[in-house]
């Protein structure tokens, strides 16, 4: 897609997140098509990009939502996601969150421990409701991704082992206030190989079969998210092969597939547009100092993640530079040794693949206001979040100033 970054910078200012909504719809359609022939719901993982307009754009295509806090659940509801397509996951849910989720009557509360199951049962009994639940199984599979985003090993805090899951299902089946209808796994994020996920899928399908044999009727088979995307030159999974594998493993189970992609839906829809403040050189390094920083896009600092960075409308002989922001941390960089032409004040740089875990992980560190977000659709642009002002940032503190 040909995006006029200069006009967008002039119109909305920088730093700026820009999302191509046509791209997001294409990804949704592609995944739906890949799963065709089997009952399925695409539960968009809201944490990847929680802007209300992004969620609502996906809801309008028919997507559900995978949420990890009651805040995300409320975002999904507010954005028009059908409540029977909302799942609430996460290792730690407060009683208040459980209460609100039960009152909202969403599709599933996904349990990650026995302790949590007992709390859900207690809150459901208080409310006189029956909680529809799924259990997150930790299949102990190495997903071969970055350790910070690997979740399916017994070293990780997520889910429960198979034996514990069985005990929990048997308990839930007997409880008056719990209705165990789902099974879930998610072994990690940015997965590029089919093998680990296919192994996990098989293990969990075997468990679902065992459960069905003892009259625990699993209706929802949730394969989590994790589909990797291209940031640089990675070879990623073929989506049709991924869906075919899941269809084949669950063939005789008579279940609805739930799939929770986050990154896959939005990462490559997104651009982080930033302006050059100045260049600085010493005897070792060239630094390009920009108006965007780690508080806006944390992935390079936190995971050493690679994002392609390009200069807009700028020619000249390229040389390596570290692209750094104004935040007071040596870890504040968006790119290292990036080949860039000579740059001047107000030149534009675009950081690619920034649609997932970009804005949603941003913060006010160094009292920097969170940036504006813009959606592009069918050639038109519109703002979907205004830039945060200084007043916005101090609003909850001001009254306590003595
Ligand atoms: N479902 C569950 C239960 C999850 O924990 C996650 C992500 C997803 C679905 C969506 O995963 P995806 O399809 O986006 O890979 N901040 C990190 C990624 C953290 C992922 C956390 N869980 C990053 O920037 O790479």
pLDDT single digits (tens) 1-51: 789 999 999 999 999 999 999 999 999 999 999 999 999 999 999 999 999
Q: Which atom of ligand 1 is nearest to the CA of 361?
A: 16
**Domain edge (last residue) among 231, 263, 295:** 263
Query: Ligand 1: does its nearest atom lie under 6 Å from the Cβ of 302?
Result: no
pTM: 0.97
- My answer on whether 191 and 295 are in the same domain is no
Task: For 368-392, write each residue's pLDDT tens digit.
Answer: 999 999 999 999 999 999 999 999 9
Interval 119-167: pLDDT, tens = 999 999 999 999 999 999 999 887 776 666 666 666 777 889 999 999 9
Ligand 1: nearest atom to the Cα of 260:
9
For atom 8 of ligand 1, the residue with the nearest CA is 225
pLDDT in tens, 243-277: 999 999 999 999 999 999 999 999 999 999 999 99
Q: Please tell me the distance between residue 190's alpha carbon and the centre of ligand 1 in angstroms.
A: 8
Distance, CA of 355 to CA of 347 (rounded, Å): 22
The number of distinct structural domains making up the chain is 2
Residue 140's pLDDT is what? 87
Same domain, 65 and 167: yes
Task: Give Dmax over CA atoms of the chain in angstroms.
Answer: 72
Mutate to test the pocket of ligand 1, among 46, 260, 361 (most ligand atoms within 8 A of CB): 260
27 lines ligand 1 (CB under 6 A): no
Arithmetic mean of pLDDT, 83-92: 96
Angle between helices 21-34 and 52-61 (to 10 degrees): 40
Q: What share of the chain has pLDDT > 70, as a percent?
A: 97
Query: What is the span of the domain harbouring residue 273?
Result: 5-16+267-398
Co-location of 68 and 148 in the same domain: yes
Domain end point (choices 263, 289, 311): 263
Write down the mean pLDDT value for the chain. 96
Cβ of 89 below 6 Å from ligand 1: yes
Residue 57 has pLDDT above 90, yes or no: yes
**Which residue carries 């409320």 as its tokens?**
74
Give me the CATH number covering residue 140: 3.20.20.10
Q: Decide which of 189 and 151 is more confident.
A: 189
Residues 44 and 68 in one domain: yes
Q: Stretch 73-84: mean pLDDT, rounded?
A: 98
Helix residue spans in 176-291 (DSSP H): 194-213, 239-249, 263-266
pLDDT of residue 84 exceeding 80: yes
Q: Domain check: are 272 and 307 in the same one? A: yes
Which residue is associated with the tokens 């350790």?
Answer: 147
């Amino acid at each position: 897609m040909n995006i006029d970054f200069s006009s967008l910078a002039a119109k909305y200012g920088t730093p700026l997140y820009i999302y191509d909504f046509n791209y997001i719809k294409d990804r949704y359609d592609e995944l739906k098509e890949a799963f065709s022939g089997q009952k399925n719901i695409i539960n968009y993982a809201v944490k990847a990009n929680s802007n209300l307009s992004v969620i609502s754009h996906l809801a309008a295509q028919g997507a559900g939502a995978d949420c990890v806090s009651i805040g995300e659940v409320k975002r999904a509801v507010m954005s028009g996601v059908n409540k029977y397509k909302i799942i609430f996951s996460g290792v730690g849910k407060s009683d208040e969150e459980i209460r609100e989720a039960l009152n909202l009557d969403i599709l599933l509360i996904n349990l990650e421990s026995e302790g949590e199951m007992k709390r859900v049962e207690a809150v459901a009994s208080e409310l006189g409701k029956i909680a529809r639940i799924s259990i997150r199984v930790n299949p102990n599979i190495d997903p071969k991704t970055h350790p910070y985003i690997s979740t399916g090993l017994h070293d990780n805090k997520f889910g429960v082992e198979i034996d514990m899951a069985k005990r929990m299902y048997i308990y839930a089946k007997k409880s008056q206030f719990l209705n165990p209808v789902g099974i879930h796994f998610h072994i990690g994020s940015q997965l590029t190989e089919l093998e680990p996920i296919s192994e996990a899928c098989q293990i969990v399908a075997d468990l679902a079969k065992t459960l069905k044999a003892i009259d625990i009727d699993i209706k929802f088979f949730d394969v989590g998210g994790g589909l990797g995307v291209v940031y640089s030159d990675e070879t990623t999974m073929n989506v049709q092969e991924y869906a075919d594998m899941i269809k084949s493993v669950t063939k005789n189970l008579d279940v609805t597939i739930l799939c929770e992609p986050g990154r896959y839906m939005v990462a490559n829809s997104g651009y982080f547009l930033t302006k050059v403040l100045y260049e600085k050189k010493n005897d070792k390094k060239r630094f390009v100092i920009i108006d965007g920083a780690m508080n806006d896009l944390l992935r390079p600092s936190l995971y050493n993640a690679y994002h392609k960075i390009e200069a807009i409308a700028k020619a000249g002989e390229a040389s390596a530079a570290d692209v750094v922001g104004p935040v007071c941390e040596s870890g504040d960089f968006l790119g290292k040794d990036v080949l860039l032409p000579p740059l001047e004040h107000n030149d534009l740089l675009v950081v690619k693949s920034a649609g997932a875990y970009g804005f949603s992980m941003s913060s006010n560190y160094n009292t920097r206001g969170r940036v504006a977000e813009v959606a592009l659709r069918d050639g038109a642009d519109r703002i979907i979040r205004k830039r945060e002002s200084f007043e916005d940032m101090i609003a909850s503190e001001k009254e306590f100033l003595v």
